[in-house]
Structure 1
């Protein structure tokens, strides 16, 4: 993985275009070997604006080539942003828009990935790819979520065990990482049980591509069919400490998984977080592949908040270990 940054290309799919009017500029930026925060700070410096005035929808990996949207106020010091360059980035389009980009304001991401020196069974690889294209992938949080060498989790543990509270940004990273550990543990239990892609009585069900969830105390044939069609998905908890939304055996499984991480679960309970759920499965849309010698070329689209490494984890044995912790895409 990532023998070159060009082996991992990600393009944001915002789901909308600039409307040509407004007090902001929507910039499309191509970056290589630079993380999102670094580019945002450079845009602020060049435009002589405060960094908080630069908007973006999500973080993108440093060790990659990424096309990502940013917004800057129209009052910036740069009259024409098209072609502006900096350390590791270039502005490739600019257009007026009405609103500053907010975190999460995108539909998903398109990926082009090259895996080098493939040495496995080609037939098995293609079978797995076909399964991914029709059945989706377990929606694990990738290692980027946990920080370099798990530093975000270590911060959470130290804080929850009585240490000083981290700075605001680090606190957010720590809470997200702690919740992600427990979610991944729940998902792993469902994968081991063969139920990560099936609805169980007591599941909280997600309508694909939306933030809509509902409790299904009993699963009927209609819901089973919709699950088979990737229209709805089972979910796992983003731990918050209050009563779980799930019921019965599903709630028991989730509680037992969380209890294996008692320090994290207890700390999250005290943080008074809003109840949230995350789909256990992510569809892998528009999946295409070709094998050229020892190189495997992949193209696919994921919904926002999901990780390309979760897809690669279904194909190669060291996807999570080989990934450079950098950012949530």
Structure 2
């Protein structure tokens, strides 16, 4: 399963490390009301998974971790900010909460708990190393190009585990050759199974776009689109003009039950990456995303480039970097920066 990109070019070699100093993620939350029975906490965490952070709050407050709401999972090896929700009756105890890797930045009331997906997107700030002056110019040009033309919305390497062992587990479980008791693990493996199919479908569509459309994503008759309000629809003709204006985006299938499938020419490709027998709920995912608010700063003396950009929810910063580098990144042993 290879992640290929719309432009076929020579790779650009640079390095980056996922650690607390060089990989920063800030969740962009919704407009919380300011009143209600839930407290929305804006949290900063360092070198810690979202689940581990929630477990610390649950332990401190002596409540079930499922009572704590969150909008998305954030990287462990990074400095990240995100929002969580807890019933307002715990506000007094939360004022005394202290943890070396967690800091409460602010709090606000809201009418209901945060649910998965209750965010606008994420702002990434990443340091790239071993970047010379020529490469810095190339990186900036390609980043700006992706802002205008978009890039494939693959699931990144983080989705599939360090050695791809989760993929094999998922396939065996779906085939009935592996029994999993743990409900959370089961759900996780099914999401991996869906993600593998999506990435394979997207790679075929990208390859077709390279060959037939000069590296611009090729829209097909029967594609399903999502508009700026989140409405899914199938037009009679490909929406080229609105797609270029970023008003609509074509979607790909996360196979399962109760989800719309594409039709016509689009369906001929999609059917190869579908599993009509999968009982779990299916979804549609944007095939192309448009990075926004890109900022870059190059430090010539240290061959270091700082790049900041905003992506829609569910998208991967490492995929944005792969698109620029024109090569796949893989999970590796994470090093802590030297102090």
Q: 2:129 aligns with which of 110, 116, 138?
A: 116
For residues 289 and 74 of structure 2, what CA distance do their matches in structure 1 show? 19
Deviations 1:169-188 (A, max 9, x none): 11111111111111111111
Structure 1: segments with no counterpart, 5+ residues: 259-264
- In structure 2, the CA distance between the partners of 1:151 and 1:11, relative to structure 1 (3 Å rule), is same
Q: Which residue of 1 aligns with 2:253?
A: 237
2:68 is the counterpart of 1:54: yes
What's the RMSD between the two structures over aligned residues? 2.4
Residue 174 (structure 1) aligned with residue 181 (structure 2)? no
Determine the C-alpha separation between the residues in 2 that align with 1:91 and 1:311: 29
1:233 and 1:84, CA in 2 relative to 1: closer, same or farther beyond 3 A? same
SS in 2 for 1:321: coil
Instruction: Look up the SS of the partner of 2:315 in the other structure.
Output: coil
In structure 2, the CA distance between the partners of 1:324 and 1:174, relative to structure 1 (3 Å rule), is farther
CA distance in 1, matches of 2:320, 2:257: 30
The runs of 5 or more residues in structure 2 that have no matched partner are: 1-15, 335-339
TM-score, with length taken from structure 1: 0.86
Aligned mates of 2:104, 2:259 — CA distance in 1: 47
Deviation readout 1:241-298 (Å, 9 max, x if unpaired): 7896212221112223x2xxxxxx5xx5333233421111011011111221211211
In the alignment, which of 221, 227, 231 is matched to residue 212 of structure 1?
231
Counterpart in the other structure of 1:284: 291
SS in 2 for 1:107: strand
Q: How many residues align?
A: 310
Does residue 1:249 correspond to 2:249, yes or no?
A: no
- Aligned ranges for residues 65-214 of structure 1 at < 5 Å? 65-76=79-90, 79=92, 81-82=94-95, 84-119=97-132, 121-162=135-176, 163-194=178-209, 197-208=217-228, 210-214=229-233
Cα distance in 2, alignment partners of residues 71 and 319 from structure 1: 36
- C-alpha distance in 2, partners of 1:64/1:57? 18
For 1:324 and 1:173, how far apart are their aligned partners in 2?
22
Question: How far apart, in 1, do the equivalents of 2:329 and 2:230 lie?
Answer: 27
TM-superposed CA distance for 1:124, in Å, is 2.4
- The aligned residue for residue 312 of structure 1 is 321
TM alignment of 1:248-267, pairs within 5 A: 248-256=264-272, 258=273
Question: 1:262 is matched with which residue?
Answer: none
Task: Name the stretch that deviates more: 234-243 or 150-159.
Answer: 234-243
Aligned pair 1:7/2:22, yes or no? Answer: yes
1:80 and 1:292 mapped to 2: Cα distance? Answer: 45
1:128: how far off?
0.6
Contact 1:30 1:90 in 2 (8 A): yes
Distance (whole Å) between structure 1 residues aligned to residue 333 and residue 321 of structure 2: 14
Query: What's 1:64 paired with?
Result: 78
Alpha carbons 1:312, 1:319 under 8 Å: kept? no
For residue 322 of structure 1, report the CA deviation from its aligned partner: 4.6
Distance 1:7 1:177 in 2: 27
